[in-house]
Amino acid sequence: ANFLNWRREPLDRPALLNKVLSGGDLSREEAEAFMDELTDGSLEDAYIAGMLTALSSKGITADEVAGCVSVLVEKRRPVELPRDAVSGGILDTCGTGGDGLHTFNISSFSALLASSCGATVAKHGNRAVSSKSGSTEFYAALGISVDLDAQGVAESVASEGFGYMAAPLFHGAMRFAGPVRKVLGVKTIMNTLGPLANPAGADFQLIGVFDDALLPVMARAAKMLGVKRVWTVRSLDGLDEISPGAPTKIFRIDEKGVESEELFDPSTFGISGFSVDDLAGGNGAENARAARELLRGGGVPALREAVCLNAGAALAVAGIAADIGDGYRQAKAALDDGRAAAKVEALSKRAGAGAGGS
């Protein structure tokens, strides 16, 4: 109870900013207090900008991220998923975005692919951060509902094992930081919060990050927030995904809280000769076209490898595959035998029928 009483104390704004400017880390409670006032609309833009910039230049911690996210979780529109539909746990592949490489929607497609292999996916996402197509633009171009309300998402997950939640529909409180983030034009702690604030509450997460320093930070924050198993990934060629063209750093925390790190090399699967340029993406419509070719069992070879590696890792996190290799083989099979295409078809049929509210 004293924690709640403490929350009512107004923020000592100069003291908090001074602490961070002098290199001090915020406690989880201090981060909560800051985010609580930010999302109430009671902080001036100049102060928000000062804090976000100071936190970034100091280097953000897991406590700071978890504190900020827990306020968003408290204020979100929750998605209640039917118990029987999610007995095996919920998977999300939402990453930070913003790697600046303008690639195909690898994690968005991987989420569909993992779902077609038996994972229950509640995908959190948004419009583009740095590319021309975020999850929202991509799914919309594939004919998948991107504007479902909480009930619509729950129904989609229950019937198809997949539902998409567009962040602004569930996290209205984030809007107060929007103008500042636009003006700053740099990545801040705000870019790390979305993946950890899944409105349905994820049990298993594969999170691509835009900076190596975030690998342990975001994984540990996820665990603090109750995620069972989490992997954070960033490739040596700069992708916030597992890359087919270079080794990828993977930071894992399992259900017992045990941490491990790996440098995963795709060449161990005989995958080589690709570069980031081979993964280039366009706008939503162009990326959806590329996705349809993959669903027909064809498509750009580098993209096929990328989505199978990332879906494979997601299946391993979710406990459906023994490891990335096993998951990779399962994902390839789902592309080749038409299960992935059938999943997308079923989801776009649902959208066409206007099922589950708008």
Q: What is the mean pLDDT of each run of 10 residues along the chain (358 residues)?
A: 52 96 98 97 97 98 99 96 89 94 97 99 92 95 98 97 97 92 93 97 98 98 99 98 99 99 98 97 98 98 99 99 99 98 98 65
What is the distance between the alpha carbons of residues 354 and 28, in angstroms, rounded to a whole number? 42
Q: 23 by DSSP, 3-state: which?
A: coil
**Which of 173, 200, 189, 215 lies closest to 85 in space, CA to CA?**
200
Q: 34 by DSSP, 3-state: which?
A: helix
CA distances from 268 to 118, 273, 276, 325 (A): 26, 13, 19, 10
CATH code of 86-170+182-350, in short, is: 3.40.1030.10
What is the distance between the alpha carbons of residues 292 and 285, in angstroms, rounded to a whole number? 11
The model's pTM: 0.95
AA letter at 274: F
Write out the two tokens for 55: 């936190």
CB-based contacts of 246, cutoff 8 Å, min separation 6: 235, 236, 237, 266
Q: Cβ of 147: how many Cβ atoms within 10 Å?
A: 14
Stretch(es) of the chain classified as CATH 3.40.1030.10: 86-170+182-350
Q: Give the domain 2-75 fold.
A: 1.20.970
At 6 the pLDDT is 47
Identify the burial level of 330 via C-beta atoms within 10 angstroms of its C-beta, where 0-12 means exposed, 13-18 middle and 19 or more buried: buried
Stretch(es) of the chain classified as CATH 1.20.970.10: 2-75
Q: Is the CB of residue 206 less than 8 Å from the CB of residue 253?
A: no
